[in-house]
Structure 1
Amino acid sequence: MSNTSARENIFARLHSASISGASYVPAAEKWVPAPIEDKAARVARFVELMSAMRTEVHQVKGDEWIGKLQEIMAERGLKNLVYGQDTDISKKLESAWKGKKDIAPLVPWTADVEEFRDELFEASAGITTTMGGIAESAAMILWPSPQEPRLLSLVPPVHFAVVKADKIWTSFAEAIEALDWNAKAPTNALLISGPSKTADIELILQFGVHGPTDLIVFVVD
């Protein structure tokens, strides 16, 4: 028997088997979205669940987060802070640090990864903006950009993040709809729910193995 005939026989048997019996299609249950909570409830749940995952959360008003940031850096003896330029918080950071020599310096991300590698890996901390948060899973949404590359939230041992209280949604589905990802989805959206952690080492939960050991979040109202 030729190779062609053998192949045709195999395909014929497969085709016969595919049409002889009805395929099983499981019934899909109707998806019911999580009920949308009011702002106070969303923020409370977000703070509670993030804190449970060893995240340090500070609820502040207006620009109070800047003073709290400087206070924490001084308490922990952090030597510098890497930040992205031309972001929602960069001008406020630069203004608050201007002329001050008694606090750890700001280090702006000004080059590509290869050129900025030494400064990044020597940094004590990094700070990023966020697109918002998700209450039911206690996660922050980050959208890396040339101004705030992914490594800014991954390499420094301490990651500071600023979350606007009115950008905390009940569920991920609600966030996707509110952010209109149907029209413009991010190429690399990140959901961060706490410091880097793994349980691969003898099934013992370890922090800081693949990223920051500390996550400090400012929820700004």
Structure 2
Amino acid sequence: MSARDIILNHLRTRTDGAIPVPESDFSVMTGRGWDHDERLARFEQLITSVHAEVVHAQRSSWTQALAAILHDKGIKRLALGHEHPVACEARAGLAEAGVELVDPAREIERWQREQFERVDAGLTSTGGAIAETGSLWLWPTPDEPRRLSLVPSIHIAVLDSEAIDETFFDVIEAHGWARAMPTNALLVSGPSKTADIEQTLAYGVHGPKELVVIVRHGAD
């Protein structure tokens, strides 16, 4: 009998009941006590410290802010979904903006070169943000695949101001990740960045060179 079999046999023949699960104290990971304004301020301070750009807009007019961003950055081809409310509103708001709207819901082999060579920017919704680290969290879907935020040189993310949690632990708890863990959640904390052996930081080497976050305020 191998050592593995011996250990498993001991576990199967226990007579003193189930192995108890030790209590865990997660208090250090939550309970920061920040109000809405503090969470927003901390998120913006941290994400802009790593070269991201934050643009504030009212929920009723955020697509106008989006159109201005596209104009200022010379974006002519924007990849975005069809089904998410953010994508639907963006498509309606950009109907007369002179921007080509690219559909990402295609087989990757059919437009692999196009997305790398001809798409100027990708637009995505966000699940929310984390004030403690200045991070966005995204939950990709077939309508908004992960390549929208990872391939184009500019990533434009839309965030509702009330969707900023204090810590990553709070995100996991509030959205029930333990019950239904997302298969491909993304944490975004600024443009793509990397460093060489001399610790020289470079942006955009393996992904977007720019990250623009449109923070929406106000009611629907």
Tell me what 2:105 maps to. Answer: 110
Asked if 1:40 corresponds to 2:31, the answer is no
Tell me what 1:87 maps to. Answer: 84
Tell me what 1:163 maps to. Answer: 159
Aligned residue identity for 2:91: E
Distance 1:77 1:149 in 2: 24
Q: CA deviation at 1:112?
A: 1.9
Q: CA deviation at 1:201?
A: 5.6
The 5 A counterparts of 1:125-164 are: 125-164=121-160
Tell me what 2:14 maps to. Answer: none
Distance 2:104 2:126 in 1: 17
Distance 2:62 2:114 in 1: 25
Distance 2:213 2:167 in 1: 19
CA pair 80-202 structure 1, distance change in 2 beyond 3 A: same
Distance 2:92 2:65 in 1: 15
Contact 2:156 2:213 in 1 (8 A): yes
Unpaired stretches in structure 2, ≥5 consecutive residues? 4-22
Deviates more, 1:203-212 or 1:177-186: 177-186
Aligned residue identity for 2:163: K
Deviations, residues 143-202 of structure 1 (Å, cap 9, x unaligned): 111111111111100000001111100001111111111221101111100000011263
SS at match of 2:109: helix
Larger Rg: 1
Deviations, residues 22-64 of structure 1 (Å, cap 9, x unaligned): xxxxxx9944224231111111111111111110001211133
Q: CA deviation at 1:90?
A: 1.8
Tell me what 1:199 maps to. Answer: 195
SS at match of 1:220: strand
Tell me what 2:7 maps to. Answer: none
Contact 2:140 2:184 in 1 (8 A): yes
Give the TM-score, by structure 1 length: 0.82
SS at match of 1:161: strand
Asked if 1:71 corresponds to 2:60, the answer is no
CA pair 176-30 structure 1, distance change in 2 beyond 3 A: closer
Give the TM-score, by structure 2 length: 0.82
Distance 1:175 1:159 in 2: 22
Contact 2:75 2:120 in 1 (8 A): yes
Deviations, residues 193-213 of structure 1 (Å, cap 9, x unaligned): 000001126321000001000
CA pair 117-63 structure 1, distance change in 2 beyond 3 A: farther
Q: 1:123 aligns with which of 105, 110, 119?
A: 119
Contact 2:139 2:185 in 1 (8 A): yes
Indicate the RMSD between aligned Cα atoms, in angstroms. Answer: 2.1
Contact 1:197 1:208 in 2 (8 A): yes
Contact 2:67 2:94 in 1 (8 A): no
Tell me what 1:20 maps to. Answer: none
Aligned residue identity for 1:46: F
Unpaired stretches in structure 1, ≥5 consecutive residues? 1-6, 9-27
